[in-house]
Chains A and B, each alone.
Chain A
Amino acid sequence: MAAKFIKLFLYVQKSNLKTAFLNLSDALVNVLMMMLNNFSYIFMWWILFQNKGSINGWNFGDMALLFAVANISFATYALFMRGLETLPEYIDSGGLDNFLVMPRSELMLIAFSESSFANWGDYLTGFIMYFFSGHIGWTSFGLLILVTILASVLLFAIRLLASSLAFFINDSQRLGDNFFIAVITFASQPSSIYTGWYKVISLTIVPAGFLVYYPVEVIRAFSWTNLLCLLGGVAIFLALSLLVWRQGLKHYSSGNRFGVR
């Protein structure tokens, strides 16, 4: 079962790469532009930390770790699960039908169906920033891989939750996109500012806290409590998103818009 899943996953990724390589120069320029975009944002924070020194005990090294976690987890999501962003359109147009009549998990097939090659630039940014974080070591690298996998599962859950709104609300694409962008924006701030109500919001309505706060804390100062909080948060959001998705499927009435995939 697992072997067949991996085989299918690799085959789909091979097809996605093949699509990206149809225009290799475009794909590589996109990767470079993505990195340029990331580093211009990071540069702004670097200047800020040069002037301020630290924010609530956070220095630029901690911020670099946040960028590493955010970029690597987002790249994992964007390269392997980005199809979820087209889900509202599939629901709206009836394109979901094609996935529902297949013998594999429709969610897996939808998630794998699109990949954004430019986000390899996020991977490169993430790993470069890790080396600037001052938390280098085999243990911390292992923890980085673990927490970014968990964070990308959380991104999957958040996007699924946002996209599943299309089952219940007409024209929900923009609403879902805005919610997702809000989470990413929250996740791009230093985690040390998460206090009081801001922290409550970042762990509930806009769960950016589970996306960067706990992952970064697990690497900065490992504690089982932080790791369990991260695991619990991801599990709750994943369960919630799957519940909304399943309810939505029962609601699904299928459309008949003309077009191709």
Chain B
Amino acid sequence: MDDIIQVSRLTKKFNIRQNSSFIKSLFSPEGKTLTAVNNISFKIKKGERVAFIGPNGAGKSTTIKMLSSISYPTSGTALVNGLVPWENRKKLAYDIGTVFGQRSQLWYNLPVQDSFFLMGKIYNVDEIPFKRRLSKLVRLFEIRDLLVRPVRALSLGQRMRCEIVASLLHRPQVLFLDEPTIGLDVTAKEIIRGLIRRQALEEDTTLLLTSHDTDDMEKVCDRVIIINRGKLIFDDSITALRDSFLRKKYIEITTDSGQKIKMVVNTAITPAKKAVDELIRQYHVTDLTIENPPMEEIIKEIYARE
């Protein structure tokens, strides 16, 4: 299989002004250089679903922005579908789709379908293929009832489904998803993850998904790249990560007296089911959650093993 994304020694530095006084900053600006992305290299094959994971401020979004032609790197190179993103912005736009969890590409006051038709015009999609495409995505993402509703009347989860449809209307080969589940509740997150995975499998779309939620990568992707403070620290399959670093599960229960009890279980030694059974046997459990270790914990463990 061909590499659809090739990143080589990519670096992005930002200059930050540090003067405390305005007058001083005008005449002798003092700055600090912040390295957001530090010399990272990786390749992604066509059809791969890759999670780009790291804590807040790790450099995930900065990398996605360079790969999707939004910003220029300080040094290094990258090719997306054979094109250098920042040199071929308009040409590359037809090959990529982007979803930014933090902001919308839909027109706030207009019905959802109007934004879709506008996107079709912007991407020069002819009317008949466009309608066929839209109808397929509407079915896949189950948004028929949302089409006539103005964007402002949608819940965050509904809006995210529409955002993803908008980014797929021109059949991009690569889909960049920057924190697509940010701010969503547990149910909405599950729905979005399932829909993204189903679409990618059905159309062989290459995914690069950033998140600081480890569940996003487990449910959607088959490979994970972890970056921390701009450096690439892990690049392997989800299975490898799970076997090595996701063995610990964080279990929290609430008892009928309102008491909260937390425990960490190493599933390599004690299966999660056994631990839960034991808790239920000992307490009157009214609520129970099982979570993966937080990103910071995984990163700490990766460094510790190095």
Contacting residues of chain A (73-129) with chain B, CB-CB under 8 angstroms: 93-98, 100-104, 109
Question: In the assembled complex, how far is the CB of residue A109 from the closest CB belonging to chain B, in whole angstroms?
Answer: 7
Report Cα–Cα, A93/B102, bound state, in Å: 10
B103 proximity list for chain A (CB < 8 A): 93-95, 97-98, 257-261
Report Cα–Cα, A7/B124, bound state, in Å: 10
Which among A8, A12, A102, A258 has the greatest number of chain B C-beta atoms within 10 A? Answer: A102
Taken residue by residue from 93 to 118, chain B's Cβ proximity to chain A (1 for < 8 Å, 0 otherwise) reads as 11010101011111111100010011
Asked if A15 meets B107 with Cβ closer than 8 Å, knowing A101-B69, A252-B71, the reply is yes
Is B61 in contact with chain A by the CB < 8 A criterion? Answer: yes
Asked if A103 meets B114 with Cβ closer than 8 Å, knowing A93-B103, A97-B100, A261-B104, the reply is no
B124 proximity list for chain A (CB < 8 A): 4, 103
Question: In the assembled complex, how far is the CB of residue A229 from the closest CB belonging to chain B, in whole angstroms?
Answer: 35
Asked if A260 meets B90 with Cβ closer than 8 Å, knowing A12-B118, A22-B109, A104-B122, the reply is no
B93 proximity list for chain A (CB < 8 A): 101-103
Taken residue by residue from 218 to 255, chain B's Cβ proximity to chain A (1 for < 8 Å, 0 otherwise) reads as 00000000000000000000000000000000000000
Which chain B residue shows the least CB distance to A20?
B109
Is A30 in contact with chain B by the CB < 8 A criterion? Answer: no
Question: In the assembled complex, how far is the CB of residue A117 from the closest CB belonging to chain B, in whole angstroms?
Answer: 12
A109 proximity list for chain B (CB < 8 A): 122
Question: In the assembled complex, how far is the CB of residue A175 from the closest CB belonging to chain B, in whole angstroms?
Answer: 14
Report Cα–Cα, A186/B151, bound state, in Å: 41
A131 proximity list for chain B (CB < 8 A): none
A102 proximity list for chain B (CB < 8 A): 93, 122-123
Is B9 in contact with chain A by the CB < 8 A criterion? Answer: no
Is A104 within 8 A of B90, CB to CB?
Answer: yes
Report Cα–Cα, A98/B163, bound state, in Å: 11
Which among B61, B65, B96, B114 has the greatest number of chain A C-beta atoms within 10 A? Answer: B65
Is B109 within 8 A of A254, CB to CB?
Answer: no
The residue that B110 contacts in the complex, of A18, A96, A256, A260, with Cβ under 8 A, is A18
Is B110 within 8 A of A8, CB to CB?
Answer: no
Is A103 within 8 A of B94, CB to CB?
Answer: yes
Which chain A residue shows the least CB distance to B97?
A101
Which chain B residue shows the least CB distance to A99?
B105
Is B38 in contact with chain A by the CB < 8 A criterion? Answer: no
The residue that A260 contacts in the complex, of B89, B108, B118, with Cβ under 8 A, is B108
B102 proximity list for chain A (CB < 8 A): 94, 256-259
A260 proximity list for chain B (CB < 8 A): 103-104, 106, 108, 151-152, 159
Chain A interface size range: 20 to 34
Contacting residues of chain A (1-35) with chain B, CB-CB under 8 angstroms: 4, 7-8, 11-12, 15, 18-19, 22
Question: In the assembled complex, how far is the CB of residue A133 from the closest CB belonging to chain B, in whole angstroms?
Answer: 38
The residue that A100 contacts in the complex, of B14, B69, B106, with Cβ under 8 A, is B69
Report Cα–Cα, A258/B159, bound state, in Å: 14
Contacting residues of chain A (213-254) with chain B, CB-CB under 8 angstroms: 250, 252-254
B284 proximity list for chain A (CB < 8 A): none
A101 proximity list for chain B (CB < 8 A): 68-70, 89, 93, 96, 98
Report Cα–Cα, A26/B121, bound state, in Å: 29
Report Cα–Cα, A18/B108, bound state, in Å: 12
B98 proximity list for chain A (CB < 8 A): 97, 101
Question: In the assembled complex, how far is the CB of residue A168 from the closest CB belonging to chain B, in whole angstroms?
Answer: 11
Asked if A15 meets B114 with Cβ closer than 8 Å, knowing A97-B100, A98-B105, the reply is yes
Report Cα–Cα, A100/B96, bound state, in Å: 12
Is B70 within 8 A of A18, CB to CB?
Answer: no
Report Cα–Cα, A19/B93, bound state, in Å: 27
Report Cα–Cα, A103/B65, bound state, in Å: 16
Which among B122, B151, B152 has the greatest number of chain A C-beta atoms within 10 A? Answer: B122
Is B72 in contact with chain A by the CB < 8 A criterion? Answer: yes
Report Cα–Cα, A48/B240, bound state, in Å: 83
Report Cα–Cα, A98/B183, bound state, in Å: 20
Asked if A254 meets B117 with Cβ closer than 8 Å, knowing A260-B104, A261-B107, the reply is no
Is B96 within 8 A of A8, CB to CB?
Answer: no
Asked if A100 meets B89 with Cβ closer than 8 Å, knowing A15-B118, A254-B70, the reply is yes
Is A103 within 8 A of B108, CB to CB?
Answer: no
Question: In the assembled complex, how far is the CB of residue A45 from the closest CB belonging to chain B, in whole angstroms?
Answer: 37
Is A98 within 8 A of B100, CB to CB?
Answer: yes
**A to B CB contacts below 8 Å, 26 in the list:** A8-B121, A11-B117, A12-B118, A15-B107, A19-B107, A93-B103, A97-B98, A98-B100, A100-B69, A100-B70, A101-B70, A101-B89, A101-B93, A102-B93, A103-B122, A104-B122, A252-B71, A254-B65, A254-B71, A256-B61, A256-B102, A257-B103, A260-B151, A261-B103, A261-B104, A261-B108
> 5 new A-B pairs (CB below 8 Å) besides A97-B65, A260-B159?
A15-B110, A19-B109, A95-B103, A97-B100, A261-B106
Interface residues, chain B, with chain A CB atoms under 8 Å away: 14, 61, 65, 68-72, 89-91, 93-94, 96, 98, 100, 102-110, 114, 117-118, 121-124, 151-152, 159, 183
Lowest 5 A-B CB distances belong to which pairs? A103-B93, A260-B104, A98-B105, A101-B98, A19-B109
